[in-house]
Amino acid sequence: MTVSQVVQEFGKDKVSANVINKYDSGNLDQWVTVIHCVEPRYDREHGKKDAKNKAFKSIYFEAAADGSKLLRESGFDEFPGLAPRWMVLQGDVYGSSPGMEALGDVKSLQHKELRNAQCIDYQTKPPIQIPINMKGQEINSLPGGVAYYDSSSQNGGIKTQFEVNLNQQYLMQDIDRTERRIDQAFYADLFLMLANDNRSGITATEVAERHEEKMLMVGPVLERLHNEMLNPLIDITFARMVQAGILPPAPQELSGQNLQVDFVSTLAQAQQLVGLGSLDRYAMTLGSIAQLKPDVLDKFDADQFADVYAQRLGVDPSVLVADDKVAIIRKSRQEQLAQQQQMAMMQPMADAAAKIGSIETDAGNSNALADVMQGLTGYTT
């Protein structure tokens, strides 16, 4: 920070004597190194809510000072820093990144590109030598330029100091190999494996397996990103909103329930799609077995399958019917089916009753009445 920024931020009574002297003498733009340290507070009094008794200590001090005088001391309820790691080696606290792995190749590539540019310069505009008697004369070295010299001189004429005939083919090949190693370190070839594949006739199975392989490679990184950055960020934000009182009252249905945050980014959804292939194969295999042994379908929970499949696909929950509504719909469907079956059973009795009503009351027509009574056999109680 500049001298003026330090004084404006922390006050003149908090800064060191060196900063005060610079401020009074008008050296307001000189730089002052200020360190902000955040660490757990072990000497706090639990139950107090002031800034100096929070779970994490926050102090500012000048790097050049002796440390006995602090610019500011306060605290945080939660650790405010977010430090996700790309990859963690066993026994190592700090993480490593693709940039650390590719650092050597990046420096090598910069050096090779510099040499390649120098090679081009030597070939297009090499150093020249001219006779001493041309010293002080104007020399036009542009294309088509003319320069005059004494032909009687033994070594007259303008010529290059040395022949530059460098073969850039090997240098460009080495540059290309270095660039490919850098792309591999940053997983560029992994994400562009299909875009860079010029083959024809690639099957859908191969595409699915390649996509699954890609997600398996970046899966641990994405999971660590969720655990070490996104989840803490949501927890900190939620805690700040609760402290500020800007959250609406929780619904009764959420009372005492744990909230599970789902990430719906493109990469997170792509990772969830990895398991769809196994679900599809399971359903197809189970369908084939059911043709031989239908009892195997008792092991298949169709409702749970539909929910898991929709979750993996990232389907909007608003288009899915809740379980309680599904139960109501199924109950109504069963009642309608029972009514239809009952009506179907009552239909022969109704037909028989209508037939009885149409029988003539002629006493000599006893055979017709007998036929109707015989048709009612099995429906009497």
CB atoms < 10 A from the CB of 225, how many? 19
Residues 304, 362, single domain; the answer is: no
User: 306 lies in a domain?
Assistant: yes
Residues 269, 313, single domain; the answer is: yes
Query: Phi/psi at 370 (nearest 5 deg)?
Result: -65, -40
Confidence (pLDDT) at 377: 54
What are the CA-CA distances from residue 81 to residues 84, 217, 233, 260, 331 (Å)?
10, 27, 9, 22, 53
Query: Phi/psi at 75 (nearest 5 deg)?
Result: -165, 170
The tens digit of pLDDT for each residue in 114-172 reads: 988 988 888 888 887 777 777 777 777 776 666 666 666 665 667 776 777 777 888 88
304 or 365: which carries more pLDDT confidence?
Answer: 304
Instruction: Compute the distance between CA of residue 5 and CA of residue 2 in angstroms, rounded to an integer.
Output: 5
219 or 333: which carries more pLDDT confidence?
Answer: 333
The tokens for 39 are: 């660490």
Domain that holds residue 24: 3-76
The tens digit of pLDDT for each residue in 228-275 reads: 898 889 988 988 898 888 988 888 888 778 887 877 776 666 666 666
Q: Are 185 and 105 in contact (CB under 8 A)?
A: yes
Q: Are 312 and 279 in contact (CB under 8 A)?
A: yes
Q: Are 75 and 83 in contact (CB under 8 A)?
A: no
Residues 64, 21, single domain; the answer is: yes
Written as one letter, the residue type at 32 is V
Strands 72-76 and 128-129 turn out to be unpaired
Q: Which helix (H) or strand (E) holds 38?
A: strand 34-40
- Unique residue bearing structure tokens 């102090």: 59
CA-nearest of 10, 59, 53 to 36 is: 59
Strands 159-160 and 34-40 turn out to be unpaired
Residue 112 confidence class, pLDDT cut points 50, 70, 90: very high
Q: Are 171 and 199 in contact (CB under 8 A)?
A: no
Task: Write out the DSSP string of 159-196.
Answer: EESS-----HHHHHHHHHHHHHHHHHHTTHHHHTTTTT
Instruction: Compute the distance between CA of residue 359 and CA of residue 368 in angstroms, rounded to an integer.
Output: 7
Residues 336, 276, single domain; the answer is: no
Residues 72, 21, single domain; the answer is: yes
Task: State the chain's mean pLDDT as an integer.
Answer: 80
Domain boundary among 296, 320, 344: 320
Residues 335, 302, single domain; the answer is: no
Q: How many domains does the chain have?
A: 3
Confidence (pLDDT) at 335: 86
Q: What angle do CA 160, 161, 167 make, to 5 degrees?
A: 75
The tokens for 153 are: 């001189």
User: 218 lies in a domain?
Assistant: no
Cβ-proximal residues to 85 (8 Å cutoff; 6+ apart), any chain: 94, 95, 96, 224, 228
Question: What's CA 216's distance to the chain center, in Å?
Answer: 13
Strands 56-62 and 159-160 turn out to be unpaired
pTM above 0.75, yes or no: no
Distance between first and last Cα of the chain = 100
The tokens for 298 are: 């008792």
User: 316 lies in a domain?
Assistant: yes
Residue 363 confidence class, pLDDT cut points 50, 70, 90: very low
CB atoms < 10 A from the CB of 57, how many? 20
Cβ-proximal residues to 199 (8 Å cutoff; 6+ apart), any chain: none
Partners of 160 in the β-ladder: 128
User: 269 lies in a domain?
Assistant: yes
User: 210 lies in a domain?
Assistant: no
Domain boundary among 61, 76, 91: 76
Q: Are 97 and 173 in contact (CB under 8 A)?
A: no
User: 7 lies in a domain?
Assistant: yes
Q: Is the pLDDT of residue 314 over 90?
A: no
User: 251 lies in a domain?
Assistant: no
The tokens for 293 are: 């042994």
Residues 362, 310, single domain; the answer is: no
Domain boundary among 43, 76, 109: 76
- Unique residue bearing structure tokens 């594949």: 197
User: 282 lies in a domain?
Assistant: yes
Residues 316, 359, single domain; the answer is: no
Written as one letter, the residue type at 62 is E
